[in-house]
Structure 1
Amino acid sequence: MVKYVPFLKLKQGEIFAVKELRDDIRTQITPFFDFARRENQQDGDFLASLGRDMTSVERNLSDVRELYLDNFDIVDREIGGIDSYQLILAECPLEKTIPVVGIDRSLAHNNAVVTARTDFGLTSDTVALRVLPDDFQDFYAVEDELSELLNNILAYFDRIDLVFDCRVCRELNAVVVGARINEFWERFGEHYPIRKVIVTGSSIPASIAEIVPVNSMSNVVRNELAIHQGVDQSAGFGELFIGDYSVVSPNYSDVDIEPEILLNIMAPKMLYTYEGHHYCIRGGALRTHPREYSQYNDFSEIIVNQPFYRGAAYSFGDQFIADKANGLGARVTPSTVLRPTINAHVTYMWDLP
């Protein structure tokens, strides 16, 4: 079993994907949730969705012991002059949330983490530091910024989970990136207390059209795995974990398009993870394709007939795929397909030797 952290959007489908994991996975896994960006969302809608999402986490993930919570996708947002991250931390499950800071974040964001610890009752003694490829190219180039940030943070937290977030990494040189992570990790560990190191990324771009055309299939190599394989624990600082963005691009966001127009342009897709690849199937526009939403049933039938399909009993998600291949249950939509396919992916990654 690998040490694994799934990076997910804080949305109902993703929350329920975790809820439906096997008990032995759900009670041990530490998911990393990013508050989802929704285009043109008004302040009132943001606050309402925040309340719904946090209620759902409390209700459905009660036996998840720890989770990370970040607002990376809406990092510059303020509501009523208050940083969005402070609002999120004020509503989060304080007994299990690990907050996230970064050298590219605003002072208000990083201060919100301290406020959550001193004023809100946040119990975690661990904070996550999320660094991007531009950040971890050279430790010494960001050493002063790290010192300014972490000397303050570590007055309130004891340990750091260091997150190397490679984002969409399909075209990155895995050997070069892995070497940079090794070097940065070692230098960082000489100065700061590390609990975990998480290396994450995705080979799925925001536009699926870049990797699979309409009405076709593609096997996408998962370069994030190659990057992780190039990282070793020779530095001896903290435990190494692999992360990924499941079957969703890190750069995904809900689009603000009228539903009637969206149906004319949206081509359904389904992804299934196996042996270092994503198996991607994409159909034709939902409104104009003769099979419309039944394309998801067709995709499912194709997947269950692949030699790498793990069988209906393997996970909630695999059972869903088998049911849809047999035409069972309700109609599948672009939003409802994520819950089972993310669940199948996370189960597979957790079980990797």
Structure 2
Amino acid sequence: MSDFNYYAFLKFKKNEVFALNDLTDDLKARISVFFDMPNELPFKSRKEKKEEFSPQELLDFKNKSFSKKIGEQIAYLDSKINWLTEFYFDNYDIDPLVSIDGKTYNYQSIIDNFGMRGMIPVCGVDDRIPAHLVSIIESKKLGKFKTDKIAIRIIQSVFEDYDYIEDEFNDLLKAVKDNFSKIVLIFDLRYIENHLNIINDLIVFLKKINLSEFYEIIITGSSLPKSVADLIETNKKIHLERKEVLIYSNIVEKFPNIHLGDYTCVPPDTNFLDLYIEDIASRMTGKIFYIYGNKVLVARSSRLKGQRAPFKPLLDYIVSQPFFRKEKYSLGDKYIVDKQPNGTGINASSILRPNINLHMSYMLRDFSI
């Protein structure tokens, strides 16, 4: 078993939560989890004669969705994943105008509901409204957090020019140091295109800061674009080198105490298709991701609609590969073995839970660089 420190960056949604709970007990004890509040938008509908939405209608939808999600997430933490004693939780993808009651900043609502359930707050540089840090600091003073840890999450547009954001970064660092004893620095690469530029930018940034000020430093990112169609055609398979691993392996040679995270098999950027809800089924294709070594197999099927078992060729291919880890490795691998003989009973949603589970299981058990 690997002793590798691994951080799973997940949307706080049902499939991700169930995939976490499907981990074996020994892996549950070792995984670190970062949740993003999922963003959602309404679909157009011919049946409901709804083809566009006003700004207020979109905000109303987001407010209701946000409130509903909080209720669901509380239930998950109190039942399915009550073994999770601490977790990072961010609202990075959520519009600052979203609010349960129309006046409270949404991250304050997240803190109020999850601070004492083990939530580690997350702040950032150059991409947050002032109310964000205020909500964290004031909540800490009021004792709303169970933990004394905070994360600073910065993206490429920030860390690519340290000199430009140096003052703001140091001001933020001082503010959190005055209130929290453990500061975690997260370099979030999101979807990675040019890995060479990122490696150079990270090295420059890390050389200019005092690494001893941070409890942990994490690099996370993904090689998966928001739409798999940008990566692969239908009925095709590719073996994709994981750029996040390539970047990490270069950085950790120079800075050995840095940890790796990833977005499992879910792209960090949500793909909102400009489609009518009635057309989604006819446009959807099946996809499976299978991680091995420092690569990921991406297999895409034909259109799902009208097909009896569109996932069957994908499953056949995976189980035939020398790197396939068989049914005893994880519940995700067992799912593939169970479904492969006839390939039925699978859809785009049901494959996600086992796919995320097998990814996390591999990262915790056998990943190495």
Question: How far apart are the structure 1 equivalents of 2:70 and 2:79?
Answer: 14
After the TM superposition, which of the residue ranges 56-65 and 265-274 deviates more from structure 2? 56-65
Q: Partner of 1:13 in structure 2? A: 15
Give the length in aligned residue pairs.
344
Query: Can you list the C-alpha shifts for 1:252-287, whole angstroms capped at 9, x where unaligned?
Result: 246575443101111111111112211111112222
Q: Which amino acid aligns with 1:33?
A: F
How far 1:153 moved relative to its partner?
Answer: 2.3
1:107 paired residue number: 130
TM-score, structure 2 length as denominator? Answer: 0.87
Residue 324 of structure 1: how far off its partner (Å): 0.8
Q: Which runs of 5+ in 1 are unaligned?
A: none
Equivalent-residue separation in structure 1 for 2:339 and 2:142 (angstroms): 49
Equivalent of 2:352, from 334, 338, 348? 338
Change (3 A) 1:235 1:296: closer
SS at match of 1:230: helix
CA deviation vs aligned residue, 1:183-231 (integer Å, no higher than 9, x gap): 32232226x7201111111110011011110111111111111100111
> Of 268, 279, 286, which residue of structure 2 is paired with 1:250?
268
Structure 1 residues 116-131: aligned runs within 5 Å: 116-119=139-142, 121-131=144-154
Q: 2:301 aligns with which of 283, 286, 291?
A: 283
> In the alignment, what sits opposite 2:242?
222
Distance 1:185 1:65, change over 3 A: farther
Q: Which residue of 2 aligns with 1:324?
A: 339
The yes-or-no answer on 1:153 pairing with 2:176 is: yes
Give 2:325's match in structure 1, choosing from 280, 289, 310: 310
CA separation in 2, counterparts of 1:337 and 1:255?
20
Distance 1:118 1:136 in 2: 29
Q: Distance in 2 between matches of 1:213 and 1:204?
A: 14
Runs of 5+ unmatched residues, structure 2? 43-60
Cα offset for 1:95? 4.2
Match of 2:201 in 1: 180
Residue 235 of structure 1, CA deviation: 5.5
What CA distance in whole angstroms lies between the structure 2 residues aligned with 1:281 and 1:235?
A: 35
SS in structure 2 of the partner of residue 278 of structure 1: strand
Residue 137 of structure 1 contacts residue 180 of structure 1 at CA under 8 Å; is this kept in 2? yes
Contact kept in structure 2, 1:15 and 1:60, CA below 8 Å:
yes
Whether 1:57 aligns to 2:65 is: no
Partners of 1:206 and 1:200 lie apart in 2 by 16
Q: Residues 157-203 of structure 1, C-alpha deviation per residue, up to 9 Å, x if partnerless?
A: 1121110111111x2133x422322332232226x720111111111
Q: In 2, Cα distance between the equivalents of 1:232 and 1:270? A: 30
Equivalent residue, structure 2, for 1:25: 27
* Aligned residue number for residue 86 of structure 1: 108
Question: Is 1:132 aligned to 2:146, yes or no?
Answer: no
Q: How many Å separate the matches in 1 of 2:115 and 2:272?
A: 25
CA contact (8 A) 2:176 2:183 kept: no
Question: What amino acid sits opposite 2:328 in the alignment?
Answer: A
* Contact map agreement 2:115 2:146 (CA 8 A) in 1: no
Question: Which secondary structure does the structure 1 equivalent of 2:190 belong to?
Answer: strand
Deviations along 1:91-143, whole A, 9 cap, x unmatched? 11524211100012111112221233233620211111111111112322211
Find the partner of 1:274 among 276, 292, 295: 292
Q: Residues of 2 paired with 1:27 and 1:203: CA distance?
A: 27
Distance 1:69 1:246 in 2: 17
TM-score, reference length from structure 1 = 0.91
The amino acid of 1:54's aligned partner reads: I
Q: Is the 8 A contact 1:165 1:199 kept in 2?
A: yes
Q: 1:36 to 1:195 in 2, by over 3 A?
A: same
Report the counterpart of residue 196 of structure 1 in structure 2: 216
Looking at structure 2, the residues matched to 136 and 309 of structure 1 have their Cα atoms a distance apart, in angstroms, of 37
Tell me the CA shift for residue 345 of structure 1: 0.4
Report the Cα distance in structure 2 between the residues aligned to 1:98 and 1:161, rounded to whole angstroms: 10
Distance 1:78 1:260 in 2: 27
Query: What amino acid is the match of 2:169?
Result: L
Find the aligned partners of 2:21 and 2:247 in 1 and give their Cα distance. 29
Aligned to 2:57: none
Tell me if 1:71 matches 2:91.
yes
List, as ranges, runs of 4+ consecutive aligned residues in structure 1 with deviation greater than 3 Å. Answer: 233-236, 253-259
How has the CA–CA distance of structure 1 residues 151 and 98 changed in structure 2, closer, same or farther, with 3 Å as cutoff? same
CA 75–24 in structure 1, closer or farther in 2 if over 3 Å, else same? farther
Is the alpha carbon distance of 1:253 and 1:86 closer, same or farther for their aligned partners in structure 2, counting shifts above 3 Å?
farther
Residue 210 of structure 2 aligns with an amino acid whose one-letter code is G
| Aligned partner of 2:364 among 336, 350, 353 | 350
Greater Cα offset, 209-218 or 143-152: 143-152
What is the CA–CA distance in structure 2 between the aligned matches of 1:256 and 1:108, rounded to whole Å? 32
Q: Please give the secondary structure, in 2, of the residue aligned with 1:342.
A: helix
SS in 2 for 1:218: strand
- In the alignment, does 2:316 pair up with 1:295? no
The reply on whether 1:44 has 2:64 as its aligned counterpart is yes
Deviates more, 1:138-147 or 1:250-259: 250-259
Deviations 1:296-324 (Å, cap 9, x if unpaired)?
24322221111110111000100011111
Q: Secondary structure, in 3 states, of the residue corresponding to 2:170? A: helix
